Amino acid sequence: MRFDFTGKVAVVTGASSGIGAATARLLASSGAALVLVGRDAGRLHEVAGTSPDTRDAVAVAVDLAEVGASGEVARAAADAFGTVDVVVHCAGLLEMAPVADVDPASIERMWAINARAPMLLTRSLAPHMGDGSAIVFVSSTVAHVGFGSYAPYSATKGALEAFARALAVELAPRTRVNVLAPGFVATPMLTDQYPARPASSRGSSRGRRSASSAPARTSPRASSRCATRSRAAT
């Protein structure tokens, strides 16, 4: 699956690993200039180094849980490229626990990264986005199917999808808004929760074993929703 993002500027969060890094690499190979967002500056620069022209890749090391981080990302994007054509929200946090045992601070951390950060970053970037632009939110199947020990995480993803639905109406027709809800993908966020099980069998805590996918298999789906030829999809 090939895309042409020549002349486009893409902001990708969670770009230091997993789906975010795979999506950033695919967008770069398709001609996009990149604003890479994540907490690990070293890994962001590694991803930036895979761009065909490293001058077209800017790394912004911030903690999106901080309210002011979204403004910092928007300023970096505007200073480097002037406009933004594509935003892919990949940053996420999963902390599993039964509701009876969940730490309130854990709920706050997941809400900050999974729901509040994409809302605030979208608010900051929207003024820099023009006609034909696109936003993709990476959600999860857990927003649609119940899994034990995932309840607070599922709630944050459900909130993200509700936000995206309303935003699609609000920003149309200038900007397309889509949600990608993959199943279990073998990213550090997931595999760290199942250290004793092989990646091929990590999955639901309901007793089923679900094969996990690789980030590189998910990134084309994210990119396809940003492509001009997908302008009818929202």
Q: Which residue has the higher pLDDT, 226 or 182?
A: 182
Least reliable range by pLDDT among 12-16, 45-49, 172-176, 208-212: 208-212
Tally of domains within the chain:
1
Pairs from 118-122 (Cβ < 8 Å, separation ≥ 24): 118/13, 118/89, 118/91, 118/160, 118/163, 119/163, 120/67, 120/69, 120/70, 121/11, 121/13, 121/64, 121/69, 121/70, 121/73, 121/74, 121/87, 121/89, 122/87, 122/89, 122/167
Q: Which residue has the higher pLDDT, 88 or 194?
A: 88
pLDDT score of 231 more than 80: no
**Average pLDDT of span 133-144:** 96
Active site residues: 153
69 domain residue, yes or no: yes
Q: What is the pLDDT of residue 140?
A: 94
User: Percentage of the chain with pLDDT > 90?
Assistant: 73
206 domain residue, yes or no: no
132 domain residue, yes or no: yes
d(CA 73, CA 71): 5
Q: What is the pLDDT of residue 222?
A: 65
Q: pLDDT confidence of 182, banded at 50, 70, 90?
A: confident
Query: For residue 195, which amino acid is it?
Result: P
User: Judging by beta carbons within 10 Å of its beta carbon (0-12, 13-18, 19+), is residue 46 exposed, middle or buried?
Assistant: middle
**Average pLDDT of span 125-154:** 95
- Average pLDDT score over the chain: 86
Q: What is the pLDDT of residue 191?
A: 54
Tokens of 106: 């854990």
d(CA 181, CA 111): 17
95 domain residue, yes or no: yes
196 domain residue, yes or no: no
d(CA 89, CA 19): 10
4 domain residue, yes or no: no
Domain that holds residue 53: 9-183+217-224
Q: pLDDT confidence of 215, banded at 50, 70, 90?
A: low
Q: What is the pLDDT of residue 183?
A: 73
CATH number, position 62: 3.40.50.720
74 domain residue, yes or no: yes
208 domain residue, yes or no: no
Q: Which residue has the higher pLDDT, 140 or 188?
A: 140
CB 134 within 8 A of CB 86: yes
Q: What is the pLDDT of residue 114?
A: 98
pLDDT tens for 86-133 read: 999 999 999 999 999 999 999 999 999 999 999 999 999 999 999 999
pLDDT tens for 54-94 read: 789 999 999 999 999 999 999 999 999 999 999 999 999 99
C-alpha distances in Å from residue 188, one per residue of 91, 130, 162, 174: 12, 34, 26, 35
Distance of CA 172 to the CA centre of its chain: 21
